[in-house]
Structure 1
Amino acid sequence: MQRSPALFRADLSLDLPYSDLAKAVVDACERAEDAGARVAALSLGGGRDWPGASEVHEVNTWERALRRWERLPAVTVTVADGACSGPALEVLSASDLRVAGRNLRLGLPGTAATGFWPGTVLHRLTRRIGASATRRLCLFAHPRTPLDAGEACLLGLVDEVVDSGGIQRRLDELARDLPAGLEPALLRQLVDDAAHTSFEEALGVHLAACDRLLRNGGARP
């Protein structure tokens, strides 16, 4: 785990059972907020058959933890390097920026017997990479066949690929270069609402956001 005034980084073991994994994500969220971090990063590692022997209430707890993560006031970054499977794609899809190390081997959620896991990862992927790409991925990609970093980037499952030794440097750059007045939660919500809101309905909300920025002097260089 690493914390600084601008950057919070925590390791997340994907080998944990549902309940412990959800607690770890919520704990990371709370620590990032307590630190006042502007960038919150989770570094993924490991994985297991997903979801394994679980109950639906555990799935609900996990989904709520992911929702907590993707609503953080900080910019959220997920780093995946080496072997990452099980819920890795779920965490990646819930993050603002998804960074892969060159050694990434990304396993998809699900099992050889049942195929792709039907959690809200499908909803998030559809909004991020489109329905057609998500359909091909969930119907035809095999959970037992991991994707390398280049394949994951080509499919839109990660945003950028960096050398494994340069991951910390990349996170430091992100934290350093963010505009001082950036409001990630507000911008994130405006983007998400665009998928189901007409221009006429959205106009008032966007004008209110613009007015808030102008009143705070955020438009000045």
Structure 2
Amino acid sequence: MIRVETPRPHVALVTLDKPARRNALDLPGFRALSRAWRDVAADGARVAVVTGVRDFSSGADLKTFPDDVAAALRGGELPEHLWGDIHGAILRDRVLPFPVVAAIEGICFGAGFELVGATDIRIAGDTAQFSTPEVGRGFMASGGTVARLPRQIGYAAAMQVLLTGARFGAERMREWGYVSEVVPAGTALDRALDIAELIAAHPPAAVRAIKRAVGEGVRGTLAEAYAIETRAADELL
């Protein structure tokens, strides 16, 4: 269900392709997506775009995912290996050296929401819908969103998303800063590829240095961020 292509020079396109299940990720799907990110990094892509067929993703496939996880653990798979694959798929513990642009159409729920939250630039069709519905099922998002979302859109907005499990439109998510741009429905992928192609045309060392400096800098104080920026700029020069 995971396809990897190179539609533009130095741009990798990672597509979730299981539209009959609205691109829900079962355990093999999580593992395939985790492998795809490793392959894209090994192939030397300068930028990646991630999208889904018709919808972005409805999240984990609850028809099979819990039973598959339980079966893997009963079969002796180490929890850290199992969850390493799952978290690696949605980039919770994997920091890619190149930028990732998300192209979002349709629904973006659960694990799909968590994957988008780990990307660098997010383009949404104007009919896209976003939700973290886990709370309504008695559990919580655990792929990085609880830790990351308050830092991205602010405390109150993050709590509204996480605690209500409600659906939010693309324009509201843009207002909160979760989405970079809202475009007409059906055009998010073209816009994302255009942005990725523009980035890929720049010297890759500069692009990677900016991503590294920003990613490290937002985790500390402003003074620490200045020091990281200076070190990265000096190394680049």
Q: Is 1:181 aligned to 2:185, yes or no?
A: no
**Aligned equivalents of 1:151 and 1:204: distance in 2?**
34
**Aligned equivalents of 2:132 and 2:118: distance in 1?**
15
Q: Is 1:160 aligned to 2:184, yes or no?
A: no
Cα deviation digits, residues 43-100 of structure 1 (max 9, x gap)? 1334256766245934443223333785222210112211332311100100001111
**Aligned equivalents of 1:133 and 1:122: distance in 2?**
12
* Equivalent residue, structure 1, for 2:233: 210
Report if aligned partners of 1:107, 1:147 keep a CA contact under 8 Å in 2: yes
Q: Name the TM-score, length of structure 2 as normaliser.
A: 0.73
Report if aligned partners of 1:129, 1:156 keep a CA contact under 8 Å in 2: yes
Going from structure 1 to structure 2, the CA distance change for 1:109 and 1:38 (only over 3 Å counts) comes to farther
Q: Which moved more, 1:146-155 or 1:197-206?
A: 197-206
Q: Please, which of 15, 27, 30 is the counterpart of residue 11 of structure 1?
A: 15
**Aligned equivalents of 1:193 and 1:84: distance in 2?**
27
Cα deviation digits, residues 147-196 of structure 1 (max 9, x gap)? 22223323333221112332343133213322622544432332233344
Q: Is 1:88 aligned to 2:109, yes or no?
A: no
Sequence identity (%): 23
Going from structure 1 to structure 2, the CA distance change for 1:109 and 1:35 (only over 3 Å counts) comes to farther
Q: Name the TM-score, length of structure 1 as normaliser.
A: 0.77
* Equivalent residue, structure 2, for 1:219: none
- CA RMSD of superposed structures (Å): 3.0
**Aligned equivalents of 1:69 and 1:132: distance in 2?**
25
**Aligned equivalents of 1:20 and 1:207: distance in 2?**
42
Report if aligned partners of 2:59, 2:110 keep a CA contact under 8 Å in 1: yes
Cα deviation digits, residues 26-48 of structure 1 (max 9, x gap)? 23213423443222011133425
Going from structure 1 to structure 2, the CA distance change for 1:171 and 1:70 (only over 3 Å counts) comes to farther
**Aligned equivalents of 1:47 and 1:65: distance in 2?**
15
* Equivalent residue, structure 2, for 1:217: none
Cα deviation digits, residues 79-126 of structure 1 (max 9, x gap)? 221133231110010000111112312232415232642442111212
Q: Please, which of 29, 38, 50 is the counterpart of residue 30 of structure 1?
A: 38
* Equivalent residue, structure 2, for 1:172: 193
Q: What runs of 5+ residues in structure 2 fail to find an aligned partner?
A: 74-78
